[in-house]
Amino acid sequence: MTNFEKNIVGWLEYNNFDVGVMFEEDFGYDRESNTLHIGTLAYEDVCRWFEQYLYEFGMEYTGVYDPVLCLLHELGHYKTIDDFSEEELMVYDFAKNMLDDRMEIQEVMNKYWDSPDEFAANMWVVNYVNLHIDAVEALCEIYWKYWNEFVEENN
């Protein structure tokens, strides 16, 4: 286990997130296995739009490291996914898959983030960042110290 992996797992445990972790290319949350998928790929434009989206919905801080916001979003799913029925989640997934790819990518992303399950995860992020900025800063510090080394080893 790398320094990055050890520190991420430690951060999750310290902050009482009882969730498994896998390191892959893309971020995600698997409800069935209760596992966060922590991604190594970066999408600079999308991350910038995502931070703006969160800011517009009340996030009081800017400059949070992009992959930290992505990880927090997936934690938001972990914390909010049970608010939705299986049927609702299926409908939301269908709607997200039907977004018109002829639209500008930023518009597609905003519509995606507005989907009820994504919006719930996003509002969890806004509230978590606003109420737990010290924990967020500690997570940013882990990324700043160990992220590049981890990505180089795993790509």
The residues with which 20 forms a beta bridge, in sequence order, are 35
- Confidence band, pLDDT 50/70/90 cuts, at residue 155: low
Pairing of strands 28-30, 20-24: unpaired
How many other C-beta atoms lie within 10 A of the C-beta of residue 148?
11
| pTM (whole model) above 0.85 | yes
- Confidence band, pLDDT 50/70/90 cuts, at residue 74: very high
The conformational region for residue 30 under phi > 0 = left, psi -120 to 50 = alpha, else beta, is beta
- Confidence band, pLDDT 50/70/90 cuts, at residue 99: confident
Q: Which of 131, 117, 45 minimizes the C-alpha distance to 74? A: 117
Contact 60, 130 (CB under 8 A): yes
The residues with which 28 forms a beta bridge, in sequence order, are 37
Judged by average pLDDT, the poorest of 2-11, 33-42, 63-72, 135-144 is 33-42
